[in-house]
Structure 1
Amino acid sequence: MASMERKQLILSPFVPRRNAVRKTSAEIVSEARQSLRVQSTQRPFTPREGHRHLFGKSSAHVDRDNRPPSTFSLHAQNFDAPDSRPGSGTRLSPLDHKPHLPVPCNVEDPFKVFPKPPADPLEVKRGQPRTRARILRAGSLTILSPVEGHKDVKERLNQGPGQKQTSVKRLPSTDHTEARSGPHKPGPRRAASERRVKESGVDPGVRPTECRAGQRTELGNGDKTRSTEEDAESLVWNNVIAPLLRQLESVAAGSSEGSVDPLCDLCDRLHGTLAEADMLGRRCKRRSGILRTLFCLIDLHSARLNLHIAKLCLALCVSGNNLLNICKLIFQISRSESNDILFQNNSIIDSFLGVLSHEDVSSSGEALLYCVGTLKFLSGNSAILRLLLDKNCVGVAQKLIQRLCTAGDTDFTIAGHILVQLTAALRNLADHPDARPLFISFSVLSELFVVLRLHHKDPDICTNISRIYSKLSSYSECRLALAQTPDCFQLLLELLSKHHQKQDLVVRLLFTLGNLTAKSDEARLQLFQCEGCMETLLQLYATYQHRNDFPHPLKGPPLLSRPQASSASVQEDEDVLVKLVRVLANMCIHPAVGPTLANNTCCIQLLMETLELKTVLESEELMVNVAATINNLSFYQEENSALRRSQLNIAKLMLKLVLSSSMDAMLEATRVYGNMSQSKDVRDFIMQNKVHQFVVTLLDSKSTEMCFSACGVLTNLTLDPPNRLSLAAEGADAKLVDCLRDFGAGDWQLAGQVCQALWNMSGGGGSETLLDTQERESLVEILTTYLDEEEALKWIENEDIKDYHRANWQLQFLPVAQKLMKSLQPLDGTA
């Protein structure tokens, strides 16, 4: 009866059974250590592009033929100087009709119903001292045909041969809105013409045929204000701006290598003057003259000067073709890394971020493209990256994403081009630690899922977003934001299925799924419950396991008839398998997922196939991950499951890992043996193949994890009485005592496992123990010290850590140690 009680006291095999009782934190930690383990792996490496291009050579963009170019030439002649045409470039056709007179004409004297013509345009009124006289051009007024009987009009329009023809020759002017060459653009000149007409007393809004004879024109308050503003603008123009423009032209005419500095200074002075006079944007009526002068400077081909020009042109709100060319100019400068320092010392970043914030996709899509391309290049520079974050670049990008996602079908292609650049820039921004909270606060991660749904056929966009997710999913706050996005897991699985041949996309999506399932039980279940989850993952597993097929000895043609895959290709495919197996290992931790995977014949066969085809020397990380997955699945030892039917074959395959030189591989294989040695067949295999000798040797390891796993195997092996003598012959009991002395006080889980192995070796407290007197006395001394709580925990000062160790001491060590101590006391007393 006593022997039966002693046998019942022997703890169950290495892996404890689950129960419905709520566990303490220490039990949870212990259970995780003993059985189910989360797998980690390195993030996929993204090589930096050697050259800056809109679309790299590896780009697989769907619209390759119609992609905007990365290289082009820009000259002053490419710009529209007046900048007054509509953004679409459409010119209006003249109306085909003849105006009619709104009032009846007097047949005898038709001129009686028309107003008197304005004063002679050459007549200059005397103003205040030192004020430039305003000269009116006759050519700017509407001229009526001379009518017989109206002599004064004839005389004004048809002057004698000795008089000057005012309508032919114009007086010199500093008004830079005059075009030197090229077609006349009506916008600015018309405004100047109307202003001159108004000053002469004629309302430009009323046609001459509508004026009543003798009617007087009076200026209202609004007209007086406008006139005052125009006078102030003219004063600033004549005294400051016009001289600056002339100086710019003069310095540029004698340009040399040393003239760039004064030109940059002049541009800055011009910018500051316009800002002080509130003449930036489109408020300056002579802005076309400024733009014309600036555009001419572009032909000097100075990157630093061109950035000053671009900043001023954007401040003047250029549009249409000019906006596109300015964005191209900035893009062209940013293509050279040596120019990055220019962007750090110039506020041009604020200017093109303003373009990204306000320009419309339909009217300025190509300009936005080159602007975002610049952002992509500059975000690769760590110093500029910090500037971009300070200037709310993430917020600007989020708003732009929303506009691009709502673009119509006609703008879908250009929106896709822009998103390729924008997602690449966000990928660079995601590298900075300060960007992570911004990605969350601006909901960029969820916005990118909208992009994925709309542009799921574009592999470049999908790959860039997968790189963002693979970077940010390594952090808990970002994982939470991703997991809370509706249909997150389903969409990622659909992308894996659609782009299954694109290795760089697949590996990053799998890495993201591995991160999401690493710490969250809810995420594991959500992924598993997605439609087609296991079919997609296992299909990927089979595809990448055989893409560069290692010829199987029993399958397929001989090696010589197959083309040899490159080592880089083999490594890339293996990287996919590493990430995929990690997802499986993490998923099966969930109690509702694990049993299903353990019974999935295809899953178990693929894992075993990997162990058979690969070697630890060439594929260490993959082999370790496969062993860890099998270890997690072996926790679910259900009758007739696929895993249980294959456990003896798995035990044989684990010999490759145990006998390798990799400590990680040995550790995972030992854990697998620790779980599977619950089976009598596996225990017999271990003893027959001398694996137990290797396990005993592991007790000499300096690693507590290795000793813990070895103790687990020994605990199960000692369930069979014949095995105890073999283990004692290898010195297992003495090594267990040394292990308890060396590591017990710092690891009570390990101490409890050692005591259990010693208890089993003694046959449950019987007389089978082979410890000699000295070893027994040493064991009693150790147990006596460890069983005293104050003595056992006195070395721990931190109270939180002390509570954790106390919980483990009480739950994992104390019951087994007391039992072992009790079995040793009678022997000690007789001695």
Structure 2
Amino acid sequence: MASKETKNEIWSPFIPRHNTLRKTCAEIISEARQSLRVQFTQRPFTPRDGHRQLFGRTSLRDDRPPSTFSLHAQHFDTSDSRPGSGTRLSPLNYKPKVPVPCDDDENPFKTLPKPPTENLEVRRGLTGVRARLLRARSLTTLPPVEGHTDMKERLNPDPGQKQLSAKQPFGAVHGAVHSGPLKARPRRTASKSNKIMKPGGDSGPTECKAERRTELGKGDNTSGSEEDRESLLWNNVIDPLLQQLESVAAGSSQGSVGRLCDLCDGLHGTLAEADMLGRRCKRRSGILQTLFPLIDLGSAQLNLHIAKLCLALCVSGKNLLNICKLIFQISRSESNDILFQNNSIIDSLLGVLSSEDVSASGEALLYCVGTLKFLSGNSAILRIMLDKNCIGVAQKLIQKLCTVENADFTIAGYILVQLTATLRNLADHPDSRPLFVCFSTLPSLCDVLRRHCTDQDICTNISRIYSKLSSYSECRLALAQTPDCYQLFLELLSKHHQKQDLIVRLLFTLGNLTAKSDESRLQLFQCDGCMDTLLQLYSNYQRKDNTPMQKGACSSSKPPTPPVSAQEADDVLVKLVRVLANMCIHPAVGPSMATNTACIQLLMETLELRSVQESEELLVNVAATINNLSFYQEESSAIKHNQLIISKLMMKLVLSSCMNAMLEATRVYGNLSSKSKDVRDFIMQNKVHQFLVTLLDSKSTEMCFSACGVLTNLAVDPPNRVCLSLEGAPAKLVDCLRDLGPGDWQLAGQVCQAMWNLVGDDSEKLLDTQEREALLEILTTYLDQEEALKWIENEDLKDFHKACWELEFLPVAHKLVKVLQTV
């Protein structure tokens, strides 16, 4: 027989231990079973918009740029003479020199070609594209002065043409002589050239042209040599390619589109090899003059080739805008996605984003980014965009957009809507996460939120990016280290409290940030107005059915939330309650939240208003939050003051068919019953203990662990032991120890605690001989280290199980054996 002191020893009532000074691996991992639990939930679902347009149907923008428009050759400017910088050049402060005329008596400008006086009716036989080509070549004005080019150079032929004049038709030489931004390219035959060169009279003798070429040829020999090479390449290679383009386009035969695409590629390659791309090519206008009319053929494939070549030639101003619109128009159809996969046009678009200025080319950038937004919805193209450093280019563009002047603020906002939507799609790919981190894109998006905090489209897109990426540790850390991000999120929650899809994603992001970081929990709680903002949202979305506000809940003068569905309201509350549950884990935050009457009232109200069948996840999260808060049971705790009401509300969850709800309610009973006899009496009086004993049959170690904890607390009171024995608790505990103990020594230790409190000094009365012998046999086996640990096959877990066996099971098992052996 054991001494009276030993027999009367009662194991301490069950309460989960919260010791932050634990050192062993077993003690660290065992925190997964502590009363303070992190809550998890699913990321809000974002359906893809099947309609490819700049702004979604729910956008509230006024005067926004259109997604639908028509584009034809007539909308393009074949001269494209505006400087690429987008700045207007100052007027020339000198009088230009006039070339020496052949006849002093004649007008010095008589030798210049005049606009054709003949009407296009003389070519009635030409129709379709050919006629459009002719109209595109019509000249109505003299070419303007471009840059700082001397007027003599503009009016005299290129020096290199002197050597070619004997070999080329007169029309071709004339075209070279009078090259300029607004000048038509020469015709292909002498007869056609004469029609252009004879605007009702003689355009001047050949000797005069030669004299002007000689005068100009006296300049720099190096420059002349370069111009000779360019003229030679133009006449021998480029000009024939342009002729073929016109000829094939006029033919309209089958397969002409493919042939035109090949010719455009050939022209592109030739210009690239000759280093004549960009604005270095002096005859860009002649090339553009040939390309633009081809747009009217209406081929998406051809238009992409044309657009790529035009962007390579660095078109600017109106032409840049129209080219970007053209590409945007093509990308609106998903059937054209394959064209972008087989074309390097994405490189050209990214080049535009990198080089163009927002103030000068804002609308072109808008349609350029809009195209990338559409294409990023295609998984294959999304992979291509990642490989081409789209996130890095976007990051630089974000920096430019965040520094624009007030005059460009509106167009910057339009562009950011498209850009953030593109990044939202890119965030879906696993390989994008390291790029978002290394380019510091997540902090930059916070800057965008601060600058455009009133723009719901931008805020919603960024919230979707954060909700996707904050589920991953590296992105979560990068965002958590962004200064004042928590205060920014709270301000957005308050400002856009009526926009459910934005609110739910910001809350989900906050829940992710506070899931595993004590520092994040404290930083969020210490933000100005944190609890007021969260509880106001809770109150708004709690009252979707206009339930009157209870006393203690926060009030607000803000307009009520517009009607939302029950599911949408629940989605917000699920994410919001999760933030509360995670935040109160911090030892400096939990006690303060436990004394917040408004918070506790709203949680209890949710338990009362919702049913498990309709709002299972919400009620489980609410119960988990109450469980976390019940850990802090100071005298001022609102949980302690309402513990009987909470115990009654928990019965709804215990009696449900949802195992998760039963588990969380059991954990709440474990915390409340550890320090309150009133709660223990409530459990016994309402026969909740019967359900707890039944839960021991569960094959879930978590369920059995929680049920054992409550039974341990109930058995502290001697009158309860007989009732528990009559319900078969001892036999069920023995079965639980036998079946689940070797795989979970924490559970085995908790079973021994419950048995220790249950049998007390009356083990011979509460346990029959068969039960006592069975329990002794099991304990004797488990006390043998070799026998106890032989069931663990995973070598990596052996150390953990050994530590749990030594710390959680061995001490209480030894004491229980001594009591049983003395009977």
TM band (smaller chain): 0.7 to 0.9
Structure 2 contact 746–804 (Cα < 8 Å) conserved: yes
Structure 2 contact 401–412 (Cα < 8 Å) conserved: yes
SS of structure 1 residue aligned to 2:662: helix
CA distance in 1, matches of 2:489, 2:742: 47
SS of structure 2 residue aligned to 1:605: helix
CA pair 182-389 structure 1, distance change in 2 beyond 3 A: farther
Q: Which amino acid aligns with 1:325?
A: N
Q: What is the aligned partner in structure 2 of residue 122 from structure 1? A: none
Q: CA deviation at 1:681?
A: 0.8
Deviation per residue, 1:38-81 (Å, 9 max, x gap): 00000011111120110011123xxx222111110000000000
CA distance in 1, matches of 2:33, 2:529: 31
Q: What is the aligned partner in structure 1 of residue 654 from structure 2? A: 658
Q: Which amino acid aligns with 2:144?
A: P
CA distance in 2, matches of 1:565, 1:479: 32
CA pair 712-223 structure 1, distance change in 2 beyond 3 A: same
Q: Which amino acid aligns with 1:442?
A: F
Structure 1 contact 624–664 (Cα < 8 Å) conserved: yes
Q: Which amino acid aligns with 1:298?
A: I
CA distance in 2, matches of 1:496, 1:565: 15
CA distance in 1, matches of 2:719, 2:672: 19
Q: What is the aligned partner in structure 2 of residue 15 from structure 1? A: 15
Counterpart among 686, 697, 701 of residue 700 in structure 1: 697
Report 1:279-358 matches (<5 A): 279-358=276-355
SS of structure 2 residue aligned to 1:654: helix
Q: What is the aligned partner in structure 1 of residue 42 from structure 2? A: 42
CA distance in 2, matches of 1:648, 1:440: 49
Structure 2 contact 11–756 (Cα < 8 Å) conserved: no
Report 1:367-446 matches (<5 A): 367-446=364-443
Q: Report the structure number with the largest CA radius of gyration.
A: 1
Q: CA deviation at 1:142?
A: 2.6
Structure 1 contact 177–286 (Cα < 8 Å) conserved: no
CA distance in 2, matches of 1:177, 1:526: 68
Q: CA deviation at 1:587?
A: 0.5
Report 1:53-64 matches (<5 A): 53-60=53-60, 64=61
Q: CA deviation at 1:798?
A: 3.9
CA pair 21-341 structure 1, distance change in 2 beyond 3 A: closer
Q: Which amino acid aligns with 2:416?
A: L
Structure 1 contact 761–769 (Cα < 8 Å) conserved: no
Q: What is the aligned partner in structure 2 of residue 185 from structure 1? A: 143
CA distance in 2, matches of 1:383, 1:318: 29
Structure 2 contact 743–792 (Cα < 8 Å) conserved: no
Q: State whether structure 2 residue 637 is matched by structure 1 residue 680.
A: no
Q: What is the aligned partner in structure 1 of residue 185 from structure 2? A: none
Q: CA deviation at 1:799?
A: 3.9
Q: CA deviation at 1:87?
A: 6.2
Q: State whether structure 2 residue 504 is matched by structure 1 residue 547.
A: no
CA distance in 2, matches of 1:155, 1:634: 106
Q: Which amino acid aligns with 1:615?
A: S
SS of structure 1 residue aligned to 2:255: helix
CA distance in 2, matches of 1:336, 1:395: 27
Identical columns (%): 74
Q: State whether structure 2 residue 518 is matched by structure 1 residue 518.
A: no
Higher mean C-alpha displacement, 316-325 vs 673-682 = 673-682
Q: State whether structure 2 residue 465 is matched by structure 1 residue 468.
A: yes
CA pair 169-691 structure 1, distance change in 2 beyond 3 A: closer
Q: What is the aligned partner in structure 1 of residue 817 from structure 2? A: 821
CA distance in 2, matches of 1:198, 1:238: 12
Deviation per residue, 1:368-395 (Å, 9 max, x gap): 0000001111111110010001000010
CA distance in 2, matches of 1:294, 1:565: 53
Q: CA deviation at 1:780?
A: 1.1
CA distance in 2, matches of 1:658, 1:325: 66
Q: What is the aligned partner in structure 2 of residue 621 from structure 1? A: 617
Report 1:145-294 matches (<5 A): 153-154=104-105, 179-186=137-144, 193-196=155-158, 223-256=220-253, 258-294=255-291
Q: Which amino acid aligns with 2:49?
A: E
CA distance in 1, matches of 2:784, 2:466: 51
Q: What is the aligned partner in structure 2 of residue 74 from structure 1? A: 71
CA pair 822-322 structure 1, distance change in 2 beyond 3 A: same
Q: What is the aligned partner in structure 1 of residue 168 from structure 2? A: none
Deviation per residue, 1:480-513 (Å, 9 max, x gap): 1011111111111111111111111111000000
Q: What is the aligned partner in structure 2 of residue 810 from structure 1? A: 806
Structure 1 contact 634–672 (Cα < 8 Å) conserved: yes
CA pair 21-47 structure 1, distance change in 2 beyond 3 A: closer
Counterpart among 700, 706, 718 of residue 709 in structure 1: 706
Q: If the length of structure 1 is used for normalisation, what is the TM-score?
A: 0.85
CA pair 788-769 structure 1, distance change in 2 beyond 3 A: farther
Structure 1 contact 638–644 (Cα < 8 Å) conserved: yes
Structure 2 contact 759–767 (Cα < 8 Å) conserved: no
Q: What is the aligned partner in structure 1 of residue 452 from structure 2? A: 455
Q: What is the aligned partner in structure 2 of residue 570 from structure 1? A: 566
Deviation per residue, 1:335-359 (Å, 9 max, x gap): 1111111000000000010000110
CA distance in 1, matches of 2:136, 2:54: 39
Q: CA deviation at 1:781?
A: 1.3
Q: What is the aligned partner in structure 2 of residue 132 from structure 1? A: none
CA distance in 2, matches of 1:378, 1:224: 50
Structure 2 contact 734–775 (Cα < 8 Å) conserved: yes
Q: CA deviation at 1:773?
A: 1.9
Q: Which amino acid aligns with 1:767?
A: S
Structure 2 contact 115–139 (Cα < 8 Å) conserved: no
Structure 2 contact 463–505 (Cα < 8 Å) conserved: yes
Q: What is the aligned partner in structure 2 of residue 767 from structure 1? A: 763
SS of structure 2 residue aligned to 1:70: coil
Q: State whether structure 2 residue 644 is matched by structure 1 residue 648.
A: yes
CA distance in 2, matches of 1:824, 1:661: 38
Q: Which amino acid aligns with 1:362?
A: S
CA distance in 1, matches of 2:489, 2:682: 43
Counterpart among 142, 145, 148 of residue 99 in structure 2: 142
CA pair 232-662 structure 1, distance change in 2 beyond 3 A: same
Q: CA deviation at 1:723?
A: 1.0
Q: CA deviation at 1:276?
A: 1.4
CA pair 83-526 structure 1, distance change in 2 beyond 3 A: same
Counterpart among 733, 740, 744 of residue 736 in structure 1: 733
CA distance in 1, matches of 2:399, 2:107: 63
Gaps of 5+ in 2: 117-132, 164-177, 179-213, 553-559
Q: CA deviation at 1:24?
A: 3.2
CA pair 768-459 structure 1, distance change in 2 beyond 3 A: farther
Deviation per residue, 1:715-751 (Å, 9 max, x gap): 1111111111111111110010000011000001100
Q: What is the aligned partner in structure 2 of residue 600 from structure 1? A: 596
CA distance in 1, matches of 2:733, 2:453: 58
CA distance in 1, matches of 2:425, 2:109: 72
Q: State whether structure 2 residue 667 is matched by structure 1 residue 671.
A: yes
